[in-house]
Structure 1
Amino acid sequence: MQDRILQSWPFNPAPQLVADIGGTNTRVALADGGVLRQGSIRKYPNAGRASLTEILQQYMGETATTECSGICVAAAGPVRDGVARMTNLSWEITAEDLAQVAGTDRVAILNDLQAQGHALKSLDARHVRVLLEGKPASEAATQLVVGAGTGFNAAPVHHGAQGTLVAASECGHIHLPRHGEQENALAIHLAQKHGIATVEEVLCGRGLVALHQWVSGKEMAGDALTAAIAAGDPATQETGQLYARLMGRTLATLALVHLPFGGIFLIGSVARAMAPNLVELGMGEAFREMGRFSPMMAEFPVAVVEDDYAALLGCAAHLVSLLR
């Protein structure tokens, strides 16, 4: 009896396989019970790859992973009826393909923003920078994830007795706020150029670059522009202030739609780059400038997530919730 116990202990169940698929790179990791295995994260360039399957097979070979207890991937693109179509790649990701490569019937495909939403309850507080204080809320309070990077989008995060639900959306294509002459002139310019003035055309990476060109008449690369704004370069401050105000107004609109008393969480490369300066550039005033609803706006905390692997963590957490 003792020999049989020794032979079966310790018990190491098959890991979860999780992946975060961006437009340029794919990150892959193993997880156990919703916790990422230390040292298991690897990043692969998407260029030259025919499909996600090719990357996952390479990862499993490199890590000697032969069995998975589940697989969940986060895709930078719309997911419908269990199929993800990448916005900036020709890949189509299906549950059937994932089940075959991972050898499991426990499969989930999420939009990348949904994965970020599932990660919120598991984030280390050291990776969350508070921008605007709010009022304390219950654990079940709705939260909102807002992504500003290659594109712009937002997703509400609802916590209930059956687990966490992150609703998909395309919030980046709502109308741009137009408060005052400058914002109205910008909206007219964007509508003439794109047929509609949306928040994505200002608040994402290419939007910030285009905004600076509209404001100053000069072209500047995105990384150099955010660095100049952060350094207080006078030639970029008007652009930074306009960006911050429009971010504040957009967040305020989304807050009143979803009532995220549990907090608004900014994610994405542009959000992280601009975060240290957004408040001093005027985001807070614009966020709380909502007429008779201004007192309510002070109840919503706003923070930025500074964890590059949050989407992987969210995938792992979602797989655990599927077991309940």
Structure 2
Amino acid sequence: MASRRQPDTFLKFPILIGDIGGTNARFAILKDAFADPKFFEIAETEKFETIDEAIQTNVLDRTSVQPESAVLAIAGPIGGDEIDLTNCHWVIHPRRMIADLGVEEVVVINDFEAQALAISALGEDAREEIGRGIHREGASRAVLGPGTGLGVAGLVRARNMWIPVAGEGGHIDLGARTERDRTIWPHLKTIEGRVSGEQILCGRGLVNLYQAICKADGIEPVHTRPADVTQAVEAGNDAQAREAVDLFSIYLGRVAGDIALIFIARGGVYIAGGIFKRIMKLVDQAKIRKAFEDKAPHSELMREIPLYVITEPQPALAGLAAFARSPRFFGLETTGRHWSIAK
């Protein structure tokens, strides 16, 4: 199949898109701007020495379509020709990918930039609202997601484009507010004395919170994995696991409210990531909404801002696909993040 450059994009089709997290890597191929993505089996990062090996094994060996370009979203800061992932042993070498995998160009962006691209166009069937807000279509938006870590990004509208704003918002300070919080906080594992959002609001953070609750209650923790904590809640026989999941959701609501204030996200704040989707049925959504709105002196503003849970199964890939099809609709800076044969 001959490659062809669409009139509104600098990328050649077919395009490989990839969402590279700390635990899993998800890939798809777009044959052209009008085709639905062809998805491939999820690759567990620990099973492959390099990303190139994962792409070769999970994608190229399973299709006759040879991608001409690649757009990858990664969990970590991007700079230089060697890109380290924050919670994964892989190191991305775009020039080596061009030489070894047969692509002509590679674009690498932050994983939550891809999530931000996705929330530019999520329909009602791809999101579920928590509480009630007033959705303003062209207003700023934000997304955060507890997973292997805690990702945060914003999305602002200017000059008829959606502009993603990436950062490391998952590492903001998370403080104690209630008496119960203050009994738990001394037992939390910290990073150089800090309790950041990511120390609680991610998979290992849920375990950190559960174990701190146990220590505050003077009992020995028995769970060491996030799944163990949630399964104990489902079984209904573990008060500390129950409280950990409840507080996890409340703290997530607090941080989501903080992010809403940073971006004045009248277009909505979106919760991504698999962890919250798994525990959503176990928690009181009214308490999450209350924590989200409890931002005096701006509680009235917060009552107007929608809070959503993303239910789209592959939101980052959906965002990458939207960008690959029509990059002119997005103000995505690619300087220093675009490698090609010509460069």
TM-score band (shorter)?
A: 0.7 to 0.9
- Report the Cα distance in structure 1 between the residues aligned to 2:26 and 2:77, rounded to whole angstroms: 18
Structure 1 position 246, deviation (Å): 1.5
Aligned to 1:299: 304
Question: Partner of 1:42: helix, strand, or coil?
Answer: coil
Task: Verify: 1:253 aligned to 2:253, yes or no.
Answer: no
- Report the Cα distance in structure 1 between the residues aligned to 2:111 and 2:55, rounded to whole angstroms: 17
Further displaced range: 216-225 or 164-173: 216-225
Further displaced range: 169-178 or 278-287: 278-287
From the superposition, tell whether residues 260 and 233 of structure 1 become closer, same or farther in structure 2 (CA, over 3 Å).
farther
Aligned to 2:15: 16
Aligned to 1:215: 213
After TM superposition, what 4+ stretches of structure 1 lie above 6 angstroms from structure 2?
A: none
Unaligned runs of 5+ in 1: 1-7
- Report the Cα distance in structure 2 between the residues aligned to 1:242 and 1:292, rounded to whole angstroms: 23
Unaligned runs of 5+ in 2: 7-11, 330-343
Question: Partner of 1:126: helix, strand, or coil?
Answer: helix
Question: Partner of 2:181: helix, strand, or coil?
Answer: helix
Structure 1 position 134, deviation (Å): 0.9
Question: Partner of 2:125: helix, strand, or coil?
Answer: helix
Q: From 198, 202, 209, give the equivalent of 1:200.
A: 198
Task: Verify: 1:226 aligned to 2:230, yes or no.
Answer: yes
Aligned to 2:322: 317
From the superposition, tell whether residues 98 and 160 of structure 1 become closer, same or farther in structure 2 (CA, over 3 Å).
farther
Aligned to 2:104: 104
Structure 1 position 37, deviation (Å): 3.3
Task: Verify: 1:243 aligned to 2:242, yes or no.
Answer: no
Deviation per CA, 1:227-249, whole angstroms, max 9, x where unpaired? 44356656133223322222222
Paired letter, 1:250: V
Structure 1 position 72, deviation (Å): 0.3
Contact 2:83/2:93 (CA < 8 Å) preserved in 1? yes
Paired letter, 2:157: H
- Report the Cα distance in structure 2 between the residues aligned to 1:34 and 1:46, rounded to whole angstroms: 29
Paired letter, 2:145: G
Paired letter, 1:242: L
Q: Larger helix proportion, structure 1 or 2? A: 1
- Report the Cα distance in structure 1 between the residues aligned to 2:197 and 2:143, rounded to whole angstroms: 15
Cα RMSD after superposing both structures: 2.8
Task: Verify: 1:63 aligned to 2:63, yes or no.
Answer: yes
From the superposition, tell whether residues 277 and 52 of structure 1 become closer, same or farther in structure 2 (CA, over 3 Å).
same
The within-5 A match list for 1:279-290 is: 279-280=284-285, 282-290=287-295
Contact 2:114/2:316 (CA < 8 Å) preserved in 1? yes
Structure 1 position 258, deviation (Å): 1.2
Question: Partner of 1:265: helix, strand, or coil?
Answer: strand
Deviation per CA, 1:136-170, whole angstroms, max 9, x where unpaired? 203x2111110101111211112333633222211
From the superposition, tell whether residues 175 and 45 of structure 1 become closer, same or farther in structure 2 (CA, over 3 Å).
closer
Question: Partner of 1:298: helix, strand, or coil?
Answer: helix
Contact 2:78/2:110 (CA < 8 Å) preserved in 1? yes
Q: TM-score, normalised by structure 1?
A: 0.84
Question: Partner of 1:291: helix, strand, or coil?
Answer: coil
Contact 1:163/1:321 (CA < 8 Å) preserved in 2? no
Structure 1 position 277, deviation (Å): 4.0
From the superposition, tell whether residues 231 and 264 of structure 1 become closer, same or farther in structure 2 (CA, over 3 Å).
farther
- Report the Cα distance in structure 2 between the residues aligned to 1:161 and 1:102, rounded to whole angstroms: 36
Aligned to 2:268: 263
Q: From 162, 177, 180, give the equivalent of 1:182.
A: 180
Contact 2:29/2:38 (CA < 8 Å) preserved in 1? no
Deviation per CA, 1:69-111, whole angstroms, max 9, x where unpaired? x310111222235753112333221332344424323x31112
Aligned to 1:158: 156
Paired letter, 2:317: L
Q: TM-score, normalised by structure 2?
A: 0.80
From the superposition, tell whether residues 46 and 203 of structure 1 become closer, same or farther in structure 2 (CA, over 3 Å).
closer
Contact 1:36/1:316 (CA < 8 Å) preserved in 2? no
The within-5 A match list for 1:124-135 is: 124-135=123-134
Paired letter, 1:50: E
Structure 1 position 64, deviation (Å): 1.1
- Report the Cα distance in structure 2 between the residues aligned to 1:82 and 1:275, rounded to whole angstroms: 40
Aligned to 1:114: 113
Paired letter, 1:84: I
Contact 1:71/1:102 (CA < 8 Å) preserved in 2? no
